[in-house]
Structure 1
Amino acid sequence: MNIVVLAGGLSAERDVSFVTGKNVADALREKGHKAILLDVFMGYSDKPEELTGIFERSEEVSAAVSGISQEAPDLETVRKSRKDQSKSLFGPNVIELCRMADIVFMALHGANGEDGRIQAAFDLYGIKYTGTGYLSSAVAMDKGLSKRLFLANQIPTPKSVSMDRTACQWEFSETGLTLPCVVKPCCGGSSIGVSIVRDEKEYQQALKEAFRWEEKVIIESYVKGREFSVGVMDFQALPVIEIAPLEGFYDYKNKYAAGSAVETCPAQLSPSITEKMQHYAVEVAKALGLETYARMDFLLDEQENIYCLEANTLPGMTPMSLLPQEAQAVGMDFPKLCEEIIRISLKKYA
């Protein structure tokens, strides 16, 4: 197949997306596919190009990848570096190349990737892509909205409130929650802008940090417990994986710095808790309408109460990412996982 692996963009998770994309492109080439790794924002070339036969040169024309830095990228610098300075998210030749492909593998993370906007554009262009559709992507991206759907479908989640910058409650006592709590951007990923708050001063600092990234934030009751994740493919749960950071919580650094967390798959849980967590993961997929694949994050407190935090519609596919480890636990290696995601995604277009 001729495949565009779409990565990069204008998200705080831009660097992570490139590493996901490179891993996917390499794996698909290993399986005999012609895969071009393409930056959705920078595009391919800023000059008129003859694109016929470009998939025969897939490795040559693919975007270069350097790795994940310890800090999120400066997006303003990224914007200024594009030669055409267009206001469009789609860089030169992106739509043309995606229309030429048999399918686009969505390796994007965060805003303008997981929020459904690109999926909606592709639907209008008749471009096939991996992952769920535009509406379910948008719903899952909004943590406040998805939490309301969790509760409506009897899926436990920590108590929370949402607020935007224009109507922010800067006094913690006005939130109706108790300390400690967690403050996070409403639609962000990779734990960027997330803070654990223990007093009023930390609360106000955490709000300022979260508002650096978005106009809307979530304040959530803090749950002390173990962290888990469960992948779902075609409404079937994968094994549960446990994530135990060596220091602090599972933040941006601990997610992408080698050796920062111990990950155990299958997680060491009782059969009943495992089954219940997998059940909730599938119920989240059904509640949000996640058609193809996703990964749900959970906490388990000391009384063995399970809480769902969020759904990730385009989970990371880096060497340290969770979904590939879960697939490996059931005998599905990384190249096979990439092909299986494509197979499931193509069912939407049958």
Structure 2
Amino acid sequence: MKIVVLAGGLSSERAVSLVTGSGVCRALRARGHRAVLVDLYLGLPDAPADLETLFDAPDGLCPSARIDTQAPDLEAVKRSRPSGGDSHIGPRVLDICALADVVFIGLHGQDGEDGRIQAVLDLMGVPYTGSGHLASAVAMDKAVSKQIMDSAGIPTPKWQLLDYTSADVERLAAELPMPCVVKTVGGGSSLGVYLPEDRPALKEALEQVLRYGSRVLVEERIFGRELTVAVLGERWLPAVETVPAGKDFDYAAKYQAGAAEETCPAHITDAEMTAAGELALRVHRALGLEVYSRTDMILDKDGQLWCLEANSLPGMTPTSFVPKEAAAVGMSYEELCEEIVRQSCQLKRRAY
């Protein structure tokens, strides 16, 4: 199959996406597919007249990608595109997508996980991997997904949505219940997430999170064991337990070797494992997700599971949670990528 792996983009999770995309592209090429990686934002400014030839480009145009301890400088990324312009879709991107049998969406965050590129591909009639545009948008917006969880009876920490400016920070820092979690409604990779331990820290968190937008989610902080459970098709995979080496599981801890201890399968009882898996399936179905997803949850000291959020495009770097969970049931990274493509190609996308 001719497969375009879309990665990069103009998101704070750009670096993670490029590592995801490179891993996926190489895995699919190893399975015999004519896969090529295309950066959604930078595009193909020097592409040949015959784009078909790119499907046979050496190493699928995969860059030498890595994840640093800090999120990428997006202004520098903008300056690096010779064509400039305000479009988040680079030159020739849609042209080569139109030639593909399927587009593997290896994007994270803005433009990829929020349903926008899925909507574009739907309008073009181009098949793609994972969830549709509407479910992607719902899962990306933490406030909307929380409302659906509440209506579906899915246990999730008490929460409230705030829309404020810096002038409101002092008052909010004095009034909001503690302990709490402060997070942007549309972030990922633990960016824009704060775990204040006292009111001065809460004030700072409320100020810092405004960098991501004025809509902010504040939820009750539940203490316990951090679990994440992937869904693949109609089954759940074994839970991973994460224990950060430091106090918090932030961007650096998520992607740097030795920054967190990850156990898969998690050392929990069979009953707890089943309950976590069934909860992930409930969330997956309630949000309308398709093919694969990952749900993050907390197992508290009383054995109660609390759903934090769902990810419609979970990380697919070779060391990410979903590949680890797949490996725990005997599925290699290459087989996982192939299975995602296979299931996605079977979907009949609904037109809205």
| Structure-2 separation of matches of 1:193 and 1:168 | 20
Aligned to 2:22: 22
Does 2:81 correspond to 1:51? no
| AA matched with 1:32 | G
Residue pair 1:35, 1:58 contacting (<8 A) in 2 also: no
| AA matched with 2:12 | A
1:305-333 deviation digits (Å, cap 9, x = unpaired): 11100000111111321000000011100
SS in 1 for 2:346: helix
Does 2:33 correspond to 1:33? yes
| Structure-2 separation of matches of 1:317 and 1:98 | 20
Q: How far has the Cα of 1:267 moved from its partner?
A: 1.0
Residue pair 2:139, 2:310 contacting (<8 A) in 1 also: yes
Q: How far has the Cα of 1:115 moved from its partner?
A: 0.1
1:216-250 deviation digits (Å, cap 9, x = unpaired): 21111111111000001123111111111111121
Does 2:71 correspond to 1:72? yes
| Structure-2 separation of matches of 1:280 and 1:218 | 22
| Structure-2 separation of matches of 1:169 and 1:132 | 37
SS in 1 for 2:76: helix
Q: How far has the Cα of 1:66 moved from its partner?
A: 3.0
Residue pair 2:25, 2:37 contacting (<8 A) in 1 also: yes
Q: How far has the Cα of 1:113 moved from its partner?
A: 0.5
Q: How far has the Cα of 1:198 moved from its partner?
A: 2.1
Residue pair 1:7, 1:18 contacting (<8 A) in 2 also: yes
1:148-172 deviation digits (Å, cap 9, x = unpaired): 1111111111111111235985223
Q: 1:283-322, aligned counterparts within 5 Å? A: 283-322=282-321
Aligned to 2:258: 259
1:247-271 deviation digits (Å, cap 9, x = unpaired): 1121101110011111111111112
Aligned to 2:110: 111
Percentage of pairs with the same residue: 46
Aligned to 1:85: 84
| Structure-2 separation of matches of 1:206 and 1:35 | 42
Runs of 4+ that moved beyond 6 A: none
| AA matched with 2:319 | M
Please, which runs of 5 or more residues in structure 2 have no aligned partner? none
Q: How far has the Cα of 1:54 moved from its partner?
A: 2.3
TM-score by length of 1: 0.95
Residue pair 2:173, 2:206 contacting (<8 A) in 1 also: no
Q: How far has the Cα of 1:202 moved from its partner?
A: 1.2
Aligned to 1:193: 192
Residue pair 2:299, 2:306 contacting (<8 A) in 1 also: yes
| AA matched with 1:136 | A
Residue pair 2:239, 2:265 contacting (<8 A) in 1 also: yes
SS in 1 for 2:306: strand
| AA matched with 2:129 | T
Residue pair 1:184, 1:218 contacting (<8 A) in 2 also: yes
Residue pair 2:318, 2:333 contacting (<8 A) in 1 also: no
Aligned residues: 348
| Structure-1 separation of matches of 2:129 and 2:313 | 9
| Structure-2 separation of matches of 1:88 and 1:38 | 16
SS in 2 for 1:290: coil
Aligned to 1:172: 172
| Structure-1 separation of matches of 2:177 and 2:97 | 48
Aligned to 1:127: 126
RMSD (CA atoms): 1.7
Aligned to 1:210: 209
Q: How far has the Cα of 1:173 moved from its partner?
A: 6.4
Residue pair 1:36, 1:58 contacting (<8 A) in 2 also: no
Residue pair 1:183, 1:194 contacting (<8 A) in 2 also: yes
Q: How far has the Cα of 1:47 moved from its partner?
A: 6.5
1:120-147 deviation digits (Å, cap 9, x = unpaired): 0110011111010000000000111101
Q: How far has the Cα of 1:48 moved from its partner?
A: 6.7
| Structure-2 separation of matches of 1:58 and 1:132 | 30
TM-score by length of 2: 0.95
1:77-116 deviation digits (Å, cap 9, x = unpaired): 1112211112111101100111111111110001111000
| Structure-1 separation of matches of 2:78 and 2:330 | 41
Residue pair 2:174, 2:199 contacting (<8 A) in 1 also: no
SS in 2 for 1:163: strand
1:251-310 deviation digits (Å, cap 9, x = unpaired): 101110011111111111112211111111000011100021100000111111111000
| Structure-2 separation of matches of 1:233 and 1:297 | 15
